[in-house]
Structure 1
Amino acid sequence: MESQGNLEAQIEVLLNVEKQMRLAGDVAGTRKARRGQLKQAVTAMVQQAMQYIDQTPDLETRIELTKTLNSVSAGKIYVEIERARLTKKLAKIKEEQGQIAEAADLMQEIAVETFGAMAKTEKIAFILEQVRLCLDRQDYVRAQILSRKISPRVFDADTSKEKKKPKEGENIVEEAPDDIPSMPELKHIYYELMIRYYSHHNDYLEICRCFMAIYEIPSVRENQEQWIPVLRKICWYLVLSPHGPMQSSLLNSTLEDKNLSEIPLFKSLLKQLVTMEVIQWTAFWEAYKDEFGNEKNLLGGSLVDKAAEDLRQRIIEHNILVVSNYYSRITLKRLADLLCLGIQEAEKHLSEMVVSKALVAKIDRPMGVVCFQVAKDSNEILNSWAMNLEKLLDLVEKSCHQIHKETMVNKAVLKV
């Protein structure tokens, strides 16, 4: 009929056939007829049309087709996955055109965490794309909110224990597309994005923990060319992190890593930080200046802009902690000499550590003396006095016992 040019008659016949199939509930037949009364027909239509996007003759047609399919799938829960994929394609086009803000706004309209039928890896990949676009537009608050939708524990979950076949009544989870990365790759991408976020805030300890998570990925641990740059970053950010219980714990655990022997200079770096000895900044910087500069050419990129300045700050803080362990009272002049600083600068760094509660100290400015002794409250003083008194009485009792014993022995000898 089509070859004879009788198109209207053909359409009439097709409509009659479609009506019969629709009334009979024939899903397969209705899909072929492309009628919108059945959900399955709409889904099949959208999926079929999505295959034509990459075959469009020009960019304008591709954008129009993507927008049309987006509007068709809007508000329909049974094509929510297709709508998410269409939005991702449209956002990619916007990004290629340099419209980062528009691409980020498009992606944020979709909340894939509520999609029960979407594969876990595809959900994570979509959220990571949202985070990346927010970081590209420097919207760090929204990037943090979106990143919290992903629990880091999901990357370490045992996939072999997951249910393969859904029970009756449960949603069937679709297979992820071929271009979606695997879970270890997604873990790598996630922590790289979080490093970008924490670098904006100069949160060295969190950056270090992100690199530690990357270091534990099997593909990284098996390749020396990958884990050496990551381990170097871990060492640098441990040194840059402010002193505290978490930093101290990570520092000691990293020192126990056998791979650290492959980079002896960095093993020496960490040992200096755990050894209670004053570090001379000039000699220290001469020893590590070249390695510090080489970081920008290695995997993971260069250190943050303030890193060199903060490194000197951490060495000064380490030296102050060392002095506080060896001295209960010290003059400001002597403290400044040990730190290789001026008196005012030494007082400034000491005051900052006291304010941040990294150290307990008092400065007597008229006398020019620093006291590192912790002030005791009345209960501690009373307990100390009671303990000392108990020791004194115990000593007196033992002495009396010894005197009495000697007296009895002497009496016995005289009687004999």
Structure 2
Amino acid sequence: MSNEIAAQLSALFRSDTLDTVESSAQAANKYIMDKLNLENNQDANAQCQTLAAIVDACVDEQLPQTISTAVLGELITMMSQSASELSQEVRQKTLEHLLCKVQQRTSAFETAIIEARQALADILVADEKWEEAAQQLQGIRLEQSQRSYTNEQVFKLYITTVELFLKADRFDQAVKAQSRAAALLIHVKDVELVNRYRYVQARISDLSQKYIDAANTYYAIFQTDLKNAAKQTNALERAIKCAVLASAGPQKMRIMTALYREKLASSLSCFGFLEKMVLKRLIKPDELQQFSEQLEEHQQSLLADGKTTILEHAVREHNIFMLSSLYSNIKFENLGLMLGVDSEDAEQMCARMIAESRMKGRIDQVDGVVTFEGAREVKEMSAAIFLKSQVAAQPPPMHFRESIAAKWDERIVKLCTAVEDSVDLLIERQPVYTKMLFRSADV
């Protein structure tokens, strides 16, 4: 059958009327439609056989290259039309057969291969076969093509491939495809394409539990994608969640403070949790549970100990960070009661935060006490303010704002000292009651 088709095509394209690309395409289209004989309602198998025979005839080296290219190009165009009278199954099988047949002549049919893979990927996406679609796009090598493609065309192909691998939960393949796109990022000026890259970059950082990087990237998307309000809101919400899940420290506080200042943030359901972290307030178990329900499945995974979630770990570190600004020192036993963990876990968390320079302090393992350097600095500042107030000489003139800030610093120090003394006294005189109090606070 393929020999008969090859002869018919040769005769058709010898006509003097086919002197332009448009007329050749029209002739090829009419020929394919006539062979399919759609008016007689051929079944799917018959249509597949007819189209396969046309492909076989075009791939045969006896048929001139110009004819093969024109017919295959028109056939691929027909297969890529979702509104076509042909079923999705027929279009998919035809494209798969075409790609299989041209493997031995890739240089001759380079354009046809690229277009066929893209058309097949679109069909697979419509059927939600994300990984298979991504593999088809991954097989396209525009950078090695004989034709010239712009950096943005190549970049768009890579980004689409990454997006499909992420939908298929193929993280490892997504990372490889993303690294190829990263090399071209500097040459891309299209803001929409750059934001698509940033989104997959943030998604990969999120899945890798690099939450600071993810939060910063989502925040960058929020600041640049100004045309789409829904995408802006989504990016800001994701940035907040990733910032909350990040390990406690100065970097986390910086990004959370920036997010907290955004007007849109106050309208989000996760804002209350963010506010407590920014204002260094103790987070209770019920608040933790409410926030965890808003997280995605991969963000609720357990740590290496098999019992602590990422959020629970982040909240405990936050509570330690918050307590370090209130207490000069605290026993690990009491710290564990406040955090809902035993004293050994409390000590390990403090040691890790100090070792990673996320918190200033020193540990006395003999007495089971951690001393927070930040609190000591506040006391030293308080002592300096007190000594300065005792000096009889007239103090040097201060700017109005500086004088107000100094007064507030003094009042804050006095308040923190009073609270600390009260808690220490309560622990010393009523240890049983204090233990019950801390337990009730965790419920």
TM-score by length of 2: 0.56
> Which residue does 2:283 correspond to in 1?
281
Following superposition of structure 1 onto structure 2, how do residues 17-416 of structure 1 map, counting pairs within 5 Å?
Answer: 43-53=69-79, 54=81, 55=84, 57-58=86-87, 61-67=90-96, 69-70=98-99, 71-72=101-102, 76=106, 80-93=110-123, 102-115=132-145, 117-118=148-149, 122-151=153-182, 154=185, 158=189, 184=192, 186=193, 189-215=196-222, 216-220=224-228, 223=229, 226-263=231-268, 266=271, 269-275=273-279, 277=280, 279-282=281-284, 285-287=285-287, 289-290=289-290, 293=293, 295=294, 304-306=299-301, 309-325=309-325, 329-336=329-336, 339=339, 341-359=341-359, 361-372=361-372
Contact 2:282/2:322, CA 8 A, preserved across alignment: no
Unaligned runs of 5+ residues in structure 1 are 1-6, 160-182, 375-416
C-alpha separation between the residues in 1 aligned to 2:155 and 2:235? 24
Percent identity over paired residues: 19
RMSD over aligned Cα atoms: 4.7
Q: Which has the larger radius of gyration?
A: 1
Contact 2:10/2:67, CA 8 A, preserved across alignment: no
Shift in CA distance, 255/156, structure 1 to aligned 2, threshold 3 Å:
farther
- Letter paired with 2:119: K
**CA positional deviation for 1:290:** 4.3
Contact 1:208/1:234, CA 8 A, preserved across alignment: yes
C-alpha separation between the residues in 2 aligned to 1:355 and 1:11? 76
- Letter paired with 1:232: E
Unaligned runs of 5+ residues in structure 2 are 29-57, 303-307, 375-443
SS at match of 1:219: coil
C-alpha separation between the residues in 1 aligned to 2:225 and 2:264? 15
SS at match of 1:51: helix
Contact 2:273/2:291, CA 8 A, preserved across alignment: no
Contact 2:292/2:311, CA 8 A, preserved across alignment: no
SS at match of 1:150: helix
Render the CA deviation track for 1:323-364: whole Å, top value 9, x for unaligned.
445555443344345546542332232233245443354433
Shift in CA distance, 8/271, structure 1 to aligned 2, threshold 3 Å:
closer
C-alpha separation between the residues in 1 aligned to 2:152 and 2:299? 31
C-alpha separation between the residues in 2 aligned to 1:104 and 1:317? 40
C-alpha separation between the residues in 2 aligned to 1:372 and 1:345? 17
Contact 1:328/1:371, CA 8 A, preserved across alignment: yes
Aligned length: 325
SS at match of 2:227: helix
**CA positional deviation for 1:146:** 0.4
Query: After the TM superposition, which of the residue ranges 30-39 and 104-113 deviates more from structure 2?
Result: 30-39
